[in-house]
Amino acid sequence: MLTTLKNSLKAYNSNRICNMSTTESYLRILVGVVLFILSLINNWNGILIFSVIFAYTGVIRYCTFYRVFNLNKKIVLESLYLKYLPKYNPNPILMLDKIGNIVFRNNPAKKELGLDDLLKFFKDEPITIIKENKSVDIKYKTETGKYFLINLQGVSKINYILAYATDITEVVKAEEEIINTQKDIVYTMGAIGETRSNETGNHVKRVALYSEILALKYGLSKEEAELLKLASPMHDIGKVGIKDEILNKPGKLTPKEFSIMKTHSKLGFNMLKNSDKKILKTAAIVAYEHHEKWDGTGYPRKLKGKDIHIYGRITAVADVFDALGSKRVYKDAWSLDEIFKLFKEQRGKHFDPLLVDIFFENFDEFDEIRKKYIDK
């Protein structure tokens, strides 16, 4: 295959060779001979010379017409591509040069994949892939909403990348359906924990969205922020193991009752810790650590400062802000002034000081969520 490829490339760069088929060569010779004979019979001197030249181009497979219109290079290069890329393959197939230009697309690629988006998509990777003969898989979404898995195969000997695309739209949709189902389960389980203590489902929604904002502003990636948003609704799932008379007691808990209440963090962690799912693993961390305090006076392990996982620190701010501003069986909702005062006092004590700063700097976003998901 590589020998054929090298020969094709040689033909591509040649100024002499024309990529003429054997059939065309024979036809030129035949037409030239016929014209030569007719010219002799009819004294067509001009045609006589032309017939000789025409027949000769068939013998040496040389054609000025091809060279003038650059068809020689185009045809040879097309032939080269088709050696590697089946023209009639039902899947989109492309070839890229070393700077990311698309030099060949089969018909499915032209139909399914947008050219402008592809050029931007392939802009930075080609040289590295070619030099290292790497094989890279990337997921690409078209303007029409289809998803393709594109395998890029660098071929350093020819300085090109072969790209094979497979439609994975149905697979992606199935994955999204699974994720949405997981979201529903997480929110439902979180809501179960909250309703045990007469709290509303809107509490877990607000905490989830507050947590996402804090995560992004803190500098976590979009993926981590999304993961925390999905997991944080389960911060109090351990409350399902606490007796109703403690959860719903209208007054202050006794020291013994509060000691029992504090076990919900460990209960939630134990419920979730053995899962191999990212969402539930994250939820286990949140459940276990969202009652820890920056100064080490929290529970259940009295962790301090950055020994507390960032997921726990973020959820602590989100949960306390929402809980203080909401009515509970044991208290009325606090005013914003009261909440702000507590957060300023507890900066560096209960809460990570940087997260408190982020909270105040972006309060408009928190307030928008608070007003959107009002308890009924």
The residues carrying an active-site annotation are: 239
Residues 316, 297 contacting (CB under 8 angstroms): no
Q: What is the DSSP string of 38-90?
A: HHHHHT-HHHHHHHHHHHHHHHHT--HHHHHTTHHHHHHHHHHHHHHS-TT-S
* Residue 91 exposed, middle or buried by CB count within 10 Å (0-12, 13-18, 19+): middle
150-178 burial by CB neighbour count: b if 16+ within 10 A, else e? bebbbbeebebbbbbbebbeeebeeeeee
Cα-Cα-Cα-Cα torsion 9, 14, 16, 19, nearest 10 degrees, comes to 30
DSSP secondary structure code for residue 202 in this structure: H
Q: How far is CA 69 from CA 57, 63, 65, in A?
A: 17, 11, 6
Q: How far is CA 187 from CA 237, 288, 366, in A?
A: 10, 18, 20
CA–CA gap between residue 261 and residue 18 (Å, rounded):
87
Measure CA 203 to chain center. 30
**What is the H or E stretch that residue 94 is in?**
strand 93-96
CA–CA gap between residue 220 and residue 52 (Å, rounded):
77
Residues 256, 222 contacting (CB under 8 angstroms): no
Cα-Cα-Cα-Cα torsion 192, 308, 327, 251, nearest 10 degrees, comes to 90
- List phi, psi (to 5°) of 138: -135, 150
Residues 231, 257 contacting (CB under 8 angstroms): no
CA–CA gap between residue 303 and residue 263 (Å, rounded):
16
